[in-house]
């Protein structure tokens, strides 16, 4: 990255907190009333089949619930927003609630997240478990122990951290452990296939770059949707259901794509 582009990137990064103070810049993706603009894809079901009313709206919050499940049975779900993005700041306010549904995997206890740069939901197969994407993983801890949130998991993708490709599928952030159903504000600065930042309650906890398609930990996908080595410069946003109940009270975005188009034209 040359000096001019680095200065521009740092300027955008620095304006993150300023933008958070100017609410008029944020565009809500969740309207607080219904799931307009969102489509469910749950493993084993067709696109648009919101099995068990997994994703619903209750008292102004987007809720992930399992009261209509007899058991989880690997029914991993993702709720896709209707359009893709490339350069943006995304903010999500979430909290974990209730008890994990029976049959949920142990690793999915108090575990959810948001998928960035997702493949189009129409290209997922019926039995595919996760979209090819970058996951900002949301975790909550119990009364003891360390369990950071806003980690990175990479189903069908790869990234660089400090110039190196991590060996692990999930990379821990530097965030503290949150407990007891506390509301958390997770922000993501996403700059195409350049740099992505995870921010928790205003603090940067993870930075990675050069996302591309590759690697494993995604099953039953269409090989045509996974051209390994291709830079991942944009995609859809999707909220997860992984067997632990969770609520979202805000999902909002600042689209930076016009800024970057202008920057590219001026160079």
Report, as an integer, the average pLDDT of 191-208: 98
Rounded Cα distance between 118 and 14, Å, is 26
> Taking all residues of the chain, what is their mean pLDDT, rounded to a whole number?
92
Q: Does residue 19 carry a pLDDT above 50?
A: no
Which domains occur in the chain, in start order? 3-266 (2.60.120.560)
- pTM (2 decimals)? 0.91
What is the per-residue pLDDT across 148-179, written as a single tens digit (0 to 9) for each? 999 999 999 999 999 999 999 999 999 999 99
For 186-242, the DSSP string reads: EEEEEETTTEEEEEETTEEEEEEEEEEE------S--GGG--TT-B---BEEEEEES
Measure the CA–CA gap between 5 and 30, rounded to whole angstroms: 33
Question: What does the alpha-carbon distance between residue 192 and residue 243 come to, in Å, rounded to a whole number?
Answer: 30
Section 84-113 average pLDDT: 98
pLDDT of residue 8: 47
Let me know if 162 is exposed, middle or buried by CB neighbors in 10 A (0-12, 13-18, 19+).
exposed
């Amino acid at each position: 990255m040359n000096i001019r582009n680095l200065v521009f990137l740092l300027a955008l990064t620095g304006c993150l907190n300023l933008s958070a103070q100017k609410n008029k810049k944020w565009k809500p993706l969740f309207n607080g009333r219904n799931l307009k603009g969102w489509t469910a894809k749950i493993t084993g079901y067709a696109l648009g089949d919101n099995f068990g009313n997994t994703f619903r709206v209750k008292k102004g919050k987007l809720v992930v619930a399992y009261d209509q499940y007899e058991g989880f049975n690997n029914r991993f779900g993702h709720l896709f927003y209707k359009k893709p993005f490339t350069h943006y700041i995304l903010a999500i306010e979430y909290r974990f609630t209730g008890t994990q549904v029976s049959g949920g995997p142990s690793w999915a206890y108090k575990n959810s997240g948001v998928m960035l740069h997702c493949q189009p939901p129409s290209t997922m197969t019926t039995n595919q478990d996760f979209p090819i994407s970058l996951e900002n993983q949301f975790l909550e801890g119990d009364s003891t122990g360390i369990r950071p949130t806003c980690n990175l998991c990479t189903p069908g993708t790869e990234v660089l951290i400090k110039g190196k490709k991590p060996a692990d599928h999930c990379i821990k952030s530097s965030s503290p452990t949150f407990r007891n159903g506390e509301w958390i504000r997770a922000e993501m600065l996403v700059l195409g296939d350049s740099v992505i930042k995870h921010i928790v309650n205003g603090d940067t906890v993870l930075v990675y770059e050069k996302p591309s398609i590759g690697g494993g930990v995604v099953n039953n996908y269409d090989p045509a949707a996974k051209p390994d080595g291709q830079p991942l410069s944009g995609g859809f946003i999707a909220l997860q259901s992984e067997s632990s109940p969770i609520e979202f009270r805000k999902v909002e975005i600042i689209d930076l794509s016009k800024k970057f188009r202008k920057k590219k034209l001026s160079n």
